[in-house]
Protein backbone atom coordinates (compact mmCIF):
# COMPACT_ATOMS: atom_id res chain seq x y z
CA UNK A 1 0.00 0.00 0.00
CA UNK A 2 2.76 2.38 -0.97
CA UNK A 3 1.91 5.95 -1.86
CA UNK A 4 3.33 7.21 -5.17
CA UNK A 5 3.86 10.85 -6.00
CA UNK A 6 3.43 12.31 -9.46
CA UNK A 7 2.86 15.89 -10.71
CA UNK A 8 2.34 17.08 -7.13
CA UNK A 9 -0.34 14.48 -6.41
CA UNK A 10 -0.42 11.25 -4.42
CA UNK A 11 -1.65 7.99 -5.94
CA UNK A 12 -2.30 4.84 -3.98
CA UNK A 13 -4.00 1.45 -4.07
CA UNK A 14 -5.60 0.16 -0.88
CA UNK A 15 -7.69 -2.81 0.12
CA UNK A 16 -11.00 -1.71 1.60
CA UNK A 17 -14.60 -0.66 1.23
CA UNK A 18 -15.48 2.44 -0.77
CA UNK A 19 -18.02 3.48 1.88
CA UNK A 20 -15.33 3.58 4.58
CA UNK A 21 -13.03 6.31 3.26
CA UNK A 22 -13.67 9.14 5.74
CA UNK A 23 -10.45 11.01 4.90
CA UNK A 24 -11.48 11.44 1.23
CA UNK A 25 -13.48 14.48 0.16
CA UNK A 26 -15.21 12.47 -2.56
CA UNK A 27 -15.88 8.85 -3.45
CA UNK A 28 -16.86 7.40 -6.81
CA UNK A 29 -19.87 5.19 -7.36
CA UNK A 30 -19.71 2.42 -9.99
CA UNK A 31 -23.26 3.41 -10.84
CA UNK A 32 -26.02 1.94 -12.97
CA UNK A 33 -27.65 4.05 -15.71
CA UNK A 34 -30.65 4.86 -13.52
CA UNK A 35 -28.45 5.97 -10.59
CA UNK A 36 -30.45 3.64 -8.35
CA UNK A 37 -29.39 1.32 -5.57
CA UNK A 38 -28.04 -1.90 -7.11
CA UNK A 39 -25.50 -4.60 -6.38
CA UNK A 40 -21.79 -4.18 -5.62
CA UNK A 41 -20.53 -0.63 -5.17
CA UNK A 42 -23.87 1.01 -6.06
CA UNK A 43 -25.62 -1.05 -3.40
CA UNK A 44 -23.03 -0.29 -0.73
CA UNK A 45 -22.99 3.45 -1.52
CA UNK A 46 -26.76 3.89 -1.55
CA UNK A 47 -27.25 1.83 1.61
CA UNK A 48 -24.62 3.84 3.47
CA UNK A 49 -25.73 7.22 2.07
CA UNK A 50 -29.43 6.67 2.77
CA UNK A 51 -32.53 7.40 0.65
CA UNK A 52 -31.66 11.08 0.19
CA UNK A 53 -29.00 10.05 -2.31
CA UNK A 54 -31.48 8.29 -4.60
CA UNK A 55 -33.76 11.32 -4.39
CA UNK A 56 -30.94 13.64 -5.40
CA UNK A 57 -29.94 11.26 -8.22
CA UNK A 58 -33.40 10.89 -9.75
CA UNK A 59 -33.42 14.06 -11.91
CA UNK A 60 -29.85 13.36 -13.12
CA UNK A 61 -30.68 9.91 -14.55
CA UNK A 62 -30.31 8.18 -16.90
CA UNK A 63 -26.62 8.50 -17.69
CA UNK A 64 -24.67 6.93 -20.57
CA UNK A 65 -21.58 4.70 -20.40
CA UNK A 66 -18.53 6.91 -19.80
CA UNK A 67 -20.58 9.72 -18.27
CA UNK A 68 -20.21 11.03 -14.70
CA UNK A 69 -22.44 13.18 -12.49
CA UNK A 70 -21.87 14.58 -9.01
CA UNK A 71 -24.09 14.73 -5.92
CA UNK A 72 -23.76 15.29 -2.20
CA UNK A 73 -22.75 12.34 -0.05
CA UNK A 74 -25.69 12.40 2.42
CA UNK A 75 -24.89 9.97 5.27
CA UNK A 76 -21.52 8.93 3.87
CA UNK A 77 -18.49 10.43 5.65
CA UNK A 78 -17.50 12.42 2.51
CA UNK A 79 -18.67 15.64 0.87
CA UNK A 80 -19.44 14.37 -2.63
CA UNK A 81 -20.24 11.24 -4.58
CA UNK A 82 -19.23 11.14 -8.25
CA UNK A 83 -21.37 8.60 -10.09
CA UNK A 84 -19.82 6.96 -13.16
CA UNK A 85 -21.44 4.47 -15.49
CA UNK A 86 -18.73 2.10 -16.67
CA UNK A 87 -19.02 0.12 -19.92
CA UNK A 88 -20.28 -3.46 -19.91
CA UNK A 89 -17.12 -5.22 -21.09
CA UNK A 90 -17.32 -6.23 -24.75
CA UNK A 91 -20.84 -4.84 -25.14
CA UNK A 92 -20.50 -1.09 -24.70
CA UNK A 93 -17.81 -0.40 -27.30
CA UNK A 94 -15.04 0.70 -27.45
CA UNK A 95 -14.89 -0.42 -23.82
CA UNK A 96 -11.43 1.01 -23.13
CA UNK A 97 -12.37 4.47 -24.38
CA UNK A 98 -15.63 4.48 -22.44
CA UNK A 99 -13.85 3.37 -19.28
CA UNK A 100 -11.21 6.07 -19.78
CA UNK A 101 -14.03 8.62 -20.17
CA UNK A 102 -15.37 7.64 -16.75
CA UNK A 103 -12.07 8.56 -15.10
CA UNK A 104 -11.59 11.73 -17.19
CA UNK A 105 -15.12 12.94 -16.50
CA UNK A 106 -14.92 12.08 -12.80
CA UNK A 107 -11.67 14.02 -12.42
CA UNK A 108 -13.06 16.94 -14.40
CA UNK A 109 -16.06 17.13 -12.04
CA UNK A 110 -13.72 16.92 -9.07
CA UNK A 111 -11.69 19.78 -10.48
CA UNK A 112 -14.78 21.90 -11.18
CA UNK A 113 -15.90 21.42 -7.58
CA UNK A 114 -12.42 22.14 -6.19
CA UNK A 115 -12.17 18.68 -4.68
CA UNK A 116 -8.78 17.75 -3.25
CA UNK A 117 -9.17 14.00 -2.80
CA UNK A 118 -11.08 11.28 -4.62
CA UNK A 119 -11.40 7.53 -4.03
CA UNK A 120 -12.30 5.26 -6.94
CA UNK A 121 -13.50 1.66 -6.93
CA UNK A 122 -12.40 -0.47 -9.90
CA UNK A 123 -15.26 0.63 -12.19
CA UNK A 124 -16.71 -2.07 -14.50
CA UNK A 125 -14.72 -4.95 -12.94
CA UNK A 126 -17.66 -6.50 -11.09
CA UNK A 127 -21.05 -7.15 -12.69
CA UNK A 128 -19.82 -5.43 -15.90
CA UNK A 129 -17.09 -8.06 -16.41
CA UNK A 130 -14.01 -5.93 -17.26
CA UNK A 131 -10.82 -7.92 -16.47
CA UNK A 132 -9.15 -6.29 -13.45
CA UNK A 133 -5.65 -5.83 -14.86
CA UNK A 134 -6.85 -4.24 -18.11
CA UNK A 135 -9.34 -2.03 -16.27
CA UNK A 136 -6.74 -0.77 -13.79
CA UNK A 137 -4.31 -0.10 -16.64
CA UNK A 138 -6.91 2.05 -18.46
CA UNK A 139 -7.73 3.79 -15.18
CA UNK A 140 -4.16 4.72 -14.21
CA UNK A 141 -3.13 5.58 -17.76
CA UNK A 142 -6.02 8.04 -17.87
CA UNK A 143 -5.37 9.43 -14.38
CA UNK A 144 -1.65 9.87 -15.05
CA UNK A 145 -2.46 11.52 -18.39
CA UNK A 146 -4.72 14.18 -16.90
CA UNK A 147 -2.84 14.77 -13.62
CA UNK A 148 -0.58 17.54 -15.04
CA UNK A 149 -3.70 19.58 -15.89
CA UNK A 150 -5.32 19.22 -12.44
CA UNK A 151 -4.85 21.85 -9.79
CA UNK A 152 -7.39 20.93 -7.08
CA UNK A 153 -7.08 17.16 -7.05
CA UNK A 154 -4.05 16.20 -4.98
CA UNK A 155 -4.95 12.71 -3.79
CA UNK A 156 -6.26 9.80 -5.86
CA UNK A 157 -6.96 6.53 -4.07
CA UNK A 158 -7.95 3.26 -5.68
CA UNK A 159 -10.00 1.11 -3.30
CA UNK A 160 -9.97 -2.60 -4.11
CA UNK A 161 -12.39 -4.91 -2.39
CA UNK A 162 -10.16 -7.98 -2.68
CA UNK A 163 -6.65 -8.12 -1.32
CA UNK A 164 -5.24 -9.89 -4.42
CA UNK A 165 -6.40 -6.97 -6.59
CA UNK A 166 -4.24 -4.51 -4.62
CA UNK A 167 -1.14 -6.24 -5.91
CA UNK A 168 -2.44 -6.14 -9.48
CA UNK A 169 -3.19 -2.45 -9.06
CA UNK A 170 0.21 -1.61 -7.57
CA UNK A 171 2.09 -3.53 -10.27
CA UNK A 172 0.23 -1.63 -13.00
CA UNK A 173 0.86 1.69 -11.25
CA UNK A 174 4.59 1.05 -10.89
CA UNK A 175 4.79 -0.06 -14.50
CA UNK A 176 3.04 3.05 -15.81
CA UNK A 177 5.06 5.38 -13.59
CA UNK A 178 8.26 3.87 -14.97
CA UNK A 179 6.96 4.41 -18.52
CA UNK A 180 6.16 8.00 -17.54
CA UNK A 181 9.73 8.48 -16.25
CA UNK A 182 11.14 7.13 -19.53
CA UNK A 183 8.98 9.44 -21.65
P1 LIG B 1 -19.60 -2.60 -12.19
O2 LIG B 1 -21.09 -2.79 -12.39
O3 LIG B 1 -19.11 -1.24 -12.69
O4 LIG B 1 -18.79 -3.75 -12.67
P5 LIG B 1 -19.52 -3.46 -9.36
O6 LIG B 1 -20.06 -2.65 -8.24
O7 LIG B 1 -20.24 -4.73 -9.72
O8 LIG B 1 -19.43 -2.43 -10.60
O9 LIG B 1 -17.99 -3.82 -9.08
C10 LIG B 1 -16.89 -2.99 -9.32
C11 LIG B 1 -15.71 -3.45 -8.48
O12 LIG B 1 -15.89 -2.99 -7.16
C13 LIG B 1 -15.51 -4.96 -8.39
O14 LIG B 1 -14.11 -5.23 -8.48
C15 LIG B 1 -16.03 -5.31 -7.01
O16 LIG B 1 -15.34 -6.44 -6.44
C17 LIG B 1 -15.69 -4.07 -6.23
N18 LIG B 1 -16.56 -3.77 -5.08
C19 LIG B 1 -17.80 -4.26 -4.77
N20 LIG B 1 -18.24 -3.69 -3.63
C21 LIG B 1 -17.28 -2.82 -3.22
C22 LIG B 1 -17.14 -1.94 -2.10
N23 LIG B 1 -18.10 -1.83 -1.17
N24 LIG B 1 -15.99 -1.19 -2.00
C25 LIG B 1 -15.02 -1.29 -2.94
N26 LIG B 1 -15.10 -2.10 -4.01
C27 LIG B 1 -16.20 -2.86 -4.14
For atom 26 of ligand 1, which residue has the closest CA? Answer: 161
Confidence of residue 1 (pLDDT cuts 50, 70, 90): low
pLDDT band at 178 (very low <50, low <70, confident <90, very high): confident
pLDDT(2) > 90: no
CATH class of the domain defined by 2-182: alpha beta
Instruction: Kindly report, residue by residue over 76-103, the tens digit of the pLDDT.
Output: 999 999 999 999 999 999 999 999 999 9
In this predicted model, what pLDDT tens digit does every residue of 42-66 receive, in sequence order?
A: 999 999 999 999 999 999 999 999 9
Distance 126 CA to ligand 1 centre (A): 5
Ligand 1 center from residue 183 Cα (angstroms): 33
Q: Is 139 in the pocket of ligand 1 (CB under 6 A)?
A: no
Three-state secondary structure along the chain? Answer: CCCEEECCEEEEEEECCCCCCCCCCEEEEECCCCCCCCCHHHHHHHHHHCHHHHHHHHHHCCCCCCCEEEEECCCCCCCEEEEECCCCCCCCCCHHHHHHHHHHHHHHHHHHCCCCEEEECCCCCCCCCCCHHHHHHHHHHHHHHHHHHCCCCCEEEEEECCHHHHHHHHHHHHHHHHHHHHC
Query: Among 14, 30, 89, which is best to mutate for testing ligand 1, by the most ligand atoms less than 8 A from CB?
Result: 30
Say if ligand 1 is within 6 A of residue 48 CB: no
Amino acid sequence: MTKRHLHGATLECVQGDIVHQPDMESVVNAANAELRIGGGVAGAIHRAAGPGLERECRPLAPIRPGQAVITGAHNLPNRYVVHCLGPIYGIDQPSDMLLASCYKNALQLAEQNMIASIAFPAISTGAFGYPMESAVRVAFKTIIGVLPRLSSVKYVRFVLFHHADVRVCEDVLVDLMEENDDA
